[in-house]
Structure 1
Amino acid sequence: MKSPRYSVSENPQTILRRHSKYSLPIPIDLIIEILSRLPLKSIARCRCVSKLLASILVRPDFTDSFLASSLAKPQVLFACRKQDKNEVMFCFSTPQPQNPEENSSTIVANYHMSFPFDSLSLCSAVSGVVCIEYHRILKGRKTPRPVWTRKRYWIRCFLGYDPIEKQHKTLAMTWEHTKAQDHQVLTLGGTDKLAWRRIECGIPQYGHPGPHNICINGVLYFKAQANKSSNGDGIIICFDVRSEKYNFVKVIERVVVHPAAALVNYNGKLASVISHCPYLFIFHTTRSFEMWVLQDSEKHEWSKHIYILPPLCKYISPGENLFFVGVTGADEIVLCPKSLFHEAFYVYYYNLKKGTIRRVEIQGLERLEGSYRVHTFLNHAEDAEILKYF
């Protein structure tokens, strides 16, 4: 028998006054403190207990407390996509190491859920929400590549988060012949019905919309070209999630916007990292990589940093390729493979200050049968605000 779901459309204060005639054995502040320590799945179940409890779980002081607790213990999110006739995605997470001095060599992954993933592709994960694109099916055929009609076009989506208004927004663009057209925004949550809104963009965007994008302090960044030439000037598009306005940053070197360069959050600043090896990823003989950090977006100023890697042959097997995932709050670059084949799965942490590297085995993923594409996201935090979306 399913538990009843209580409507919390009423004002929380009204519900609290209605229940004030009953003496609560535990003060509200203490209830909030206790509930903020529960995982998000348990919080969702608690909403079904009573209107009183449901009203507490949407109070700003509770959601703020829950988010602060979650941010203090960030997670690494793994989305493992099985690739066969019946595609499935499995989601796991592990605690994200916060102390570079930790000597932990093994972490057990927590399983969250699985769901069919046919004709879908994973875009990004921001503040507890994951953005997934659905690929259209024409004449019974999946078309993850550009769809040919009278014009060659495809749609690309990006997920952003405004920490001021505490809103997630999805930005979608239709690309026609390598040029971005028809910009639309969808705001998640709130009381209004979900609907796409067209917005204006005065910045021409060309090139193929790649997978690398990141949202930092309410600004969504992704790579583009300033003109339609294949050797056109590379730029970083900046989309302010709150104002829904576009801007851009020029790059000094094209390597910053190279398709293989990963955009990361480096201490609250946008950065682009890329390997110095010919194949532009990290493997057992790679000796160095470079990172470009955006110092001033208005002046288009970047700083370049080169980092020397220790010998990787004792960590990485020949033929194993590692990719940049991001930077932790402890100034560690995170690298990991994108494929899983019934073998041990490792995450690598390179200390930017000390130039050392450590390897952590993620146990639990090896139980998956078959070959998988692994998407890894850092600084994953659960946000109780997203429960208002459902």
Structure 2
Amino acid sequence: MSASPNDTQAAQDESGNAPKDKRKRGRALLIALLVFVLAGVIWLLLWLFVFSTRETTDDAYVGGNQVAISAQVPGIVVGVYADDTQRVNAGQVLVRLDPTDADVALRKAGSALAQAVRQVRQQTQSAASADAALVARRQDLKRAQDDLKRRLPLLAEKAVAPEEVQHARDAVTSAQSALDAAQRQADAARALVDGSNVEDNPAVAQARANFRQAWVAAQRNAIVAPIDGYVALRGVQVGNSVQPGQQLMTVVPLHDLWVDANFKEGQLRHVRIGQPAKVEADIYGGGVEYHGKVIGLGAGTGSAFSLLPAQNATGNWIKVVQRVPVRIALDPKDLDKHPLRIGLSTAVTVDITDDKGDVLPSQPSNVPVAQTRVYDDVAAKADAAADAIVRANLGAGVP
């Protein structure tokens, strides 16, 4: 039976297309293999030159100092001069308390200081008077002794009566007793003033300290901002009765912020102090980049310092990857251009190319974390006010 023309043609087509299909499949496999090899090479290069030289995390948040403003003396609030979101400068009055009680106490302390100065002046004069009386008693004793000496030879010659000599002896004894009493009185008077002038007398010093305390308490009725910053958490209202230590508001210095980046424990192998870091804040997106550096690693994981630390030695145990906070200091210039707020989310990338630095600080820091100088002149002003009262009550000619 002979094959039909159609069957013959199909067999020719199949035999002709088979080599072409094999070549196409081989070319496709080769291309796929090249793509995978190229992707592997690219990944290897990225790992060697990019991913292995940095550590990244998005578990990072902006941190900063939160300066609590609290009352130092009790009182009634009569004025509030700053509110949430407002900027305040160091030394600016934030809250003012009713000054009535403090002014009364200050006036009493001023009067007591003036009275103390005058009393010490009086004691000084009494001591001088006692010294003068002591000199007079010495003269009386010498006079009585001289009289006795003149009469004793006359008694042997019976030129004077024995009673007159006895009177002379009694006069010497009386003068000696008067001298002893005057000496004691002079010693007692000098005990209050010896070794110091009026200004340095212990009684004046005590009254001066009481005045200084009252003066400072009166100044503390005006509660001032210790640093520059922005007000938050204002809770004080006019008419509130506040007590020492009661928090009234918070001032946050937004020019001095940092980032606490919580890296996994496996990422800390090459993290060192001083390594450069780049920070991106979610509030600005990837278009704004902050420059910083690692200034320290936390002393423990977050769970170790939690209120109820995990007790992994009890019950069933499941390993949980721990995180350690790494503090990143930010460039103040970047913060001035693009301000941040405490608690904002960020993404941190640390360059770990140079991992020869320290993991822990080798020396204690001598730089204060934060400081204020708004209270530096308070003591000097209090002393100046006390000096004015002392000078006004010294009198003319008193050193």
**Same fold per superposition (TM over 0.5):** no
- Flag the structure with larger Rg: 2
Query: Whose strand fraction is larger, Structure 1's or Structure 2's?
Result: 1
TM-score, normalised on structure 1? 0.19
